[in-house]
Structure 1
Amino acid sequence: MESSSSTPQLLWFFAIAVCVKLLLIPAYHSTDFEVHRHWLALTHSLPLSNWYADETSPWTLDYPPFFACFERFLSIFAHYIDPQIVDLHNGLNYRANSAIYFLRISVILSDLWLLYGVYRLTKNADVKRRNLIWVLIVWSPALVMVDHLHFQYNGFLLGWLLLSISFLQEGKDLMGGFLFAVLLCFKHLFAVAAPVYFVYLLRHYCWEGLFRGFSRLSVLGAVVVAVFAAAYGPFLYHGQIQQVFNRMFPFGRGLCHAYWAPNFWVFYIILDKVFSFFLKKFGFSIQIPAASFTGGLVGDSSPFAVLPKISPSTTLIMVLLALSPCFIKAWTNPQPRMVARWIAYAYTCGFLFGWHVHEKASLHFVIPLAIVAVQSLEDAKHYFMLSIVSCYSLFPLLYEAQEYPIKVLLLLLHSILMWLGFSTKFTRASAPNTMVTAKKKGAQSKSIESSSPAAEKGGFTIGWVGKSYLLGLLLVEIWGQFLHPYLLGDKFPFVPLMLISTYCAFGIMYSWIWQLRWIISTT
């Protein structure tokens, strides 16, 4: 009854978000806009066997087949609105109003799948928790910035992830695994969480005695194989599978993206540059790689001046090692209520230690952590800090002056809403009831759902360390936006980006350590 009555309220949340997104239609959009416009034309104009072989544009198709089919579906409507949108030989940067409005609105409409995922996750939650999750996800400023300004379809993809999590939390493991397999065939970068899914499903769903366990494993395997066969089978039939994989995994692009994602490799790069600087001062002959990390160019920026070169296999090993505590917990104590936390942790590991990570990939763990953020006061404090840091790290994506007040306003409003929402949920007044309930249940250990820390802390607040770190974000922004251009002009243009990446990397690293500690300590 409560879930049905909450539907109109959720639609109001979504309607407000849509109004904001409609106002942003004329705003800046990146080259990703032309990438997706070209993919519409490519999938509409060419037979399926040529989708991953086309080279009429630099923006070759590098997403898995289901996403290519999604583009083909959209191209049907684009053709009726303006045939030039899907004209493969229309040239680059087709920016007619018809193309802008169609593509922008297609992203807004695809967010309905995210809305369904959020609804299904929260349909049985209490009002405070449900509304707070809606605010954190449906009104996420990072999603608005990446999808509706920069331009991508992350909301649609994250809808599949949230749906998968919702089924796993209900104990419907087969459906949860099926939806995750579908997601991987839409965007393969979500595969970082695949080992966690495998361990959890093997232990929780398949570990039911020899006969029943084998039959369940067979069914689960058949479902996953069927999904991948539907996605890749046609390309295997046409002898295109190697070309598809080459497009999806372009390891030649290098360790880091043009703009450094705030992850572990930022510190590795800086250490290499510090070593090379001092060694040159002491007379050593140091050859600086031609593809400089600070040049802001896309290319193979893997070589280092002093430190060893990092290979894709090295990053894979580091990600798996970082994930190992999660594997142990998922195997020894496979609890559905921990699934969202484990999946978010997996994407945090991938973001920190992965190969050629885009800064936009922070959405992969920030959105699932919104589910976790409402579970305890400590989770709320952690999410408050992480959400601000990850959103601020996306600021360089929107570099034009007219978008500056938009991104600042989005982050400020989100911070205020988070503060008010967490303050409402975690108050001193709610503590006595929680403590009484805990006594009745005889609870002696830490509970994931407990809000009793509010009694100790006096409600939602952050300590002086958190406040100091957020103040540092403000100082970094003041330097990059105002002081650096005024004092240094065009000199060292990479410094503001480097400061943002490095400073935010400290925040993301702290979040990873915090999540790791919680996973290890939770029973």
Structure 2
Amino acid sequence: MNWLAITHSLPVSKWYHESTSEWTLDYPPLFAWFEYGLSHVAQHFDKKMLVVQNLGYASPATVLFQRLSVIATDVVFIYAVRECCRSVREEKGSKDLLVRPYFILAALLLWNYGLLIVDHIHFQYNGFLCGILLLSVARHLQGRHLEGAFLFAVLLNLKHIYLYIAPAYGIFLLRSYCFTKDNTDGSVRWSSLSLVRLIALGSIVISVCALSFGPFIAMGQLPQVLSRLFPFKRGLCHAYWAPNIWALYNVVDKALSVLGLRLKLLANLPKASMTGGLVQEFQHSVLPSVSPSATLICTLVSILPAVLSIWRCPRGARGFLRCLVVCALCSFMFGWHVHEKAILMAILPLSVLAVESREDAGIFLMLATTGHYSLFPLLFTATEMPTKVLLILLFTLYSFTSLKKLFRGFLLNTLEVTYLLGLIAVEIICEVVYPLLPWKQTLPFVTLLAKSVYCSLGVSYSFIRLYLSILRPTDKPKEL
């Protein structure tokens, strides 16, 4: 709501300088213009929500507007789902509509548990943004590459987190669109590069970026805008650790510090600051502290083999889509100050692959179940507990049963099933058993740590499986 007030009440020159609230405008300019447009509708509901100083203002009209605006912008997501379903490969099989790939895909996307709670309970506009991503993917699956590139350029200028999957787009479009033919030996030579296609592609990207950032460049405010987009002082981890490699790193550091102190092997340890949020400094106690540049290097190094694989061995738009999911997971695993909801950037595109490949379906079930459970702390009140539990159970049950029918068999092994059942045990211990223990008041964050670390294991396992699949010489054929 504060962004609505900033863009509506202040001149453009002050948008990225306003700091009345700690939640400053930290999205790219195109999203700021999106908020500006929404503010002109919001003023007809309650003008007080557009006053910058009214922090935390939540009148009934304001809440109504927020909910209606999310529902209205979800039209983009619904249209994108339709286009993705049209792009799914259909093979002869069951005539039952309920077990057809396109129907299952529509249900997995429209009924996605994570998106439901992030956008419609924990208020956000992620459906709108994910819709543009899926629509871009659908256009590439349909061979409409310039449209796909344009949509992704728009997406980047709406939310810069999608920079992490930009390498997949760049390498795929250069290799499979700009190079018009391969040589007989399979190598790529610059003589086969279509300058017309390269110029067309570059013009699209540059035009969108110029439209978005141009006014701020003209005002000499580009450094200020970039400082808001990349606030590295927020810390390595979010207040609740996203289930990635840094959560495991943090807990190992904590275990080593406790063990070292008890065994009197260590003394005078610095107090670790292991939460992000608005914390300005971060250091570990025993292990080396991680800097923003270190996370960037780790992310780029992890992404490199994936993008090289589609350069050396193009596998069409579906190879690109798998690479996109891998890049999204790389950023989630190794990125700086990762929010747990970023897992949706991998789960949603993976849904498209899940209805076409048995192996991808198994990975999807592991990643979606674990990733969605990791979002539980976003809804932390007792009244929300029945809703979030019921929604995740229904979505997970449908995912397992529908994909099992589609591929005619079990998709997970015993170890994987055992791990997923462990999520139930973790939830019971954290929400039922731990509150009864006497040290609950002195160690209130243990439950968050337990959920984060346990989910990190499942996300890491899914990441490794998916990564190995993209590095294989050929994709496995669809099994229906």
Q: Which residue of 1 aligns with 2:269?
A: 287
Amino acid of the residue matched to residue 505 of structure 1?
S
Distance 1:211 1:325, change over 3 A: closer
Q: What CA distance in whole angstroms lies between the structure 2 residues aligned with 1:199 and 1:260?
A: 31
Query: Contact 2:28–2:229 at 8 Å: present in 1 too?
Result: yes
1:54 to 7, 15, 18: 18
Say which is worse superposed, 406-415 or 219-228, in terms of deviation: 219-228
* Deviation, structure 1 residue 461: 4.5
Q: Which residue of 2 aligns with 1:323?
A: 303
Say which is worse superposed, 372-381 or 209-218, in terms of deviation: 209-218
The answer to whether the aligner puts 1:343 opposite 2:338 as a matched pair is no
* Deviation, structure 1 residue 319: 1.1
Amino acid of the residue matched to residue 286 of structure 1?
N
* Deviation, structure 1 residue 216: 2.0
Query: Contact 2:235–2:277 at 8 Å: present in 1 too?
Result: no
1:311 to 285, 291, 296: 291
Say which is worse superposed, 265-274 or 401-410, in terms of deviation: 265-274
Q: Which residue of 2 aligns with 1:43?
A: 7
Overall identity of the aligned pairs, in %: 43
2:467 to 516, 519, 523: 516
Runs of 4+ deviating beyond 4 Å: none
Amino acid of the residue matched to residue 92 of structure 1?
L
Task: Describe the superposition over 1:363-385 as per-residue Cα deviations: whole angstroms up to 9, x where unpaired.
Answer: 10010100011112222222112
1:65 to 29, 43, 56: 29
Amino acid of the residue matched to residue 450 of structure 2?
L
* Deviation, structure 1 residue 122: 1.3
Task: Describe the superposition over 1:453-490 as per-residue Cα deviations: whole angstroms up to 9, x where unpaired.
Answer: xxxxxx13532112210121111111110110112332
Query: Contact 1:255–1:300 at 8 Å: present in 2 too?
Result: no
Query: Contact 1:263–1:508 at 8 Å: present in 2 too?
Result: yes
Say which is worse superposed, 388-397 or 267-276, in terms of deviation: 267-276
Query: Contact 2:237–2:276 at 8 Å: present in 1 too?
Result: no
* Deviation, structure 1 residue 190: 0.8
Q: TM-score, normalised by structure 1?
A: 0.84
Task: Describe the superposition over 1:207-260 as per-residue Cα deviations: whole angstroms up to 9, x where unpaired.
Answer: 236385233222211211111000000011111111111111001111111110
Amino acid of the residue matched to residue 486 of structure 1?
L
Amino acid of the residue matched to residue 354 of structure 1?
G
Query: Contact 1:177–1:224 at 8 Å: present in 2 too?
Result: yes
Give SS of 1:123's match: helix
Amino acid of the residue matched to residue 404 of structure 1?
M
Query: Contact 1:318–1:353 at 8 Å: present in 2 too?
Result: yes
Give SS of 2:44's match: helix
Q: Which residue of 1 aligns with 2:47?
A: 83
Distance 1:278 1:124, change over 3 A: closer
Root mean square deviation of aligned Cα: 1.6
* Deviation, structure 1 residue 352: 0.3
The answer to whether the aligner puts 1:399 opposite 2:362 as a matched pair is no
Q: What CA distance in whole angstroms lies between the structure 2 residues aligned with 1:191 and 1:124?
A: 25
Q: What CA distance in whole angstroms lies between the structure 2 residues aligned with 1:124 and 1:204?
A: 18
Q: What CA distance in whole angstroms lies between the structure 1 residues aligned with 2:66 and 2:15?
A: 20
Q: What CA distance in whole angstroms lies between the structure 2 residues aligned with 1:122 and 1:63?
A: 30
* Deviation, structure 1 residue 40: 0.8
* Deviation, structure 1 residue 296: 7.2
Give SS of 1:226's match: helix
* Deviation, structure 1 residue 419: 2.1
The answer to whether the aligner puts 1:419 opposite 2:400 as a matched pair is yes
Aligned residue pairs, count: 453
Q: Which residue of 2 aligns with 1:173?
A: 145
2:237 to 252, 256, 259: 256
* Deviation, structure 1 residue 318: 1.0
Q: Which residue of 2 aligns with 1:265?
A: 246
1:237 to 218, 224, 248: 218
Q: Which residue of 2 aligns with 1:300?
A: 280
Q: What CA distance in whole angstroms lies between the structure 2 residues aligned with 1:247 and 1:150?
A: 23
Unaligned 5+ runs, structure 1 = 1-36, 428-458
Query: Contact 1:286–1:305 at 8 Å: present in 2 too?
Result: no
The answer to whether the aligner puts 1:491 opposite 2:472 as a matched pair is no
Query: Contact 1:476–1:499 at 8 Å: present in 2 too?
Result: yes
2:67 to 75, 79, 104: 104
Say which is worse superposed, 123-132 or 144-153, in terms of deviation: 123-132
Q: What CA distance in whole angstroms lies between the structure 1 residues aligned with 2:410 and 2:265?
A: 55
Amino acid of the residue matched to residue 510 of structure 1?
Y
Unaligned 5+ runs, structure 2 = 91-96, 181-189, 475-480
Q: What CA distance in whole angstroms lies between the structure 2 residues aligned with 1:277 and 1:84?
A: 51
Q: Which residue of 2 aligns with 1:471?
A: 421
Task: Describe the superposition over 1:493-520 as per-residue Cα deviations: whole angstroms up to 9, x where unpaired.
Answer: 1111011000000000001101011101
* Deviation, structure 1 residue 420: 2.5
Amino acid of the residue matched to residue 212 of structure 2?
A
Q: What CA distance in whole angstroms lies between the structure 2 residues aligned with 1:344 and 1:301?
A: 31
Say which is worse superposed, 42-51 or 330-339, in terms of deviation: 330-339
Task: Describe the superposition over 1:251-297 as per-residue Cα deviations: whole angstroms up to 9, x where unpaired.
Answer: 111111111000001111122122222332324323233x621x676
Amino acid of the residue matched to residue 466 of structure 2?
Q
Query: Contact 1:133–1:371 at 8 Å: present in 2 too?
Result: yes
Q: Which residue of 2 aligns with 1:409?
A: 390
Q: What CA distance in whole angstroms lies between the structure 2 residues aligned with 1:519 and 1:59?
A: 38
Q: TM-score, normalised by structure 2?
A: 0.91
* Deviation, structure 1 residue 302: 2.7
Q: What CA distance in whole angstroms lies between the structure 2 residues aligned with 1:211 and 1:325?
A: 24
Q: What CA distance in whole angstroms lies between the structure 1 residues aligned with 2:406 and 2:321?
A: 20
Q: What CA distance in whole angstroms lies between the structure 2 residues aligned with 1:124 and 1:493?
A: 47
Give SS of 1:502's match: helix
2:454 to 478, 503, 521: 503
Q: Which residue of 1 aligns with 2:259?
A: 278
Amino acid of the residue matched to residue 104 of structure 1?
R
* Deviation, structure 1 residue 88: 2.2
Query: Contact 1:165–1:339 at 8 Å: present in 2 too?
Result: no
Q: What CA distance in whole angstroms lies between the structure 2 residues aligned with 1:286 and 1:465?
A: 42
Query: Contact 1:104–1:148 at 8 Å: present in 2 too?
Result: yes
Q: What CA distance in whole angstroms lies between the structure 2 residues aligned with 1:186 and 1:265?
A: 27
Distance 1:316 1:297, change over 3 A: closer
Give SS of 1:521's match: coil
* Deviation, structure 1 residue 160: 0.9
Q: What CA distance in whole angstroms lies between the structure 1 residues aligned with 2:288 and 2:166?
A: 29
* Deviation, structure 1 residue 163: 1.1
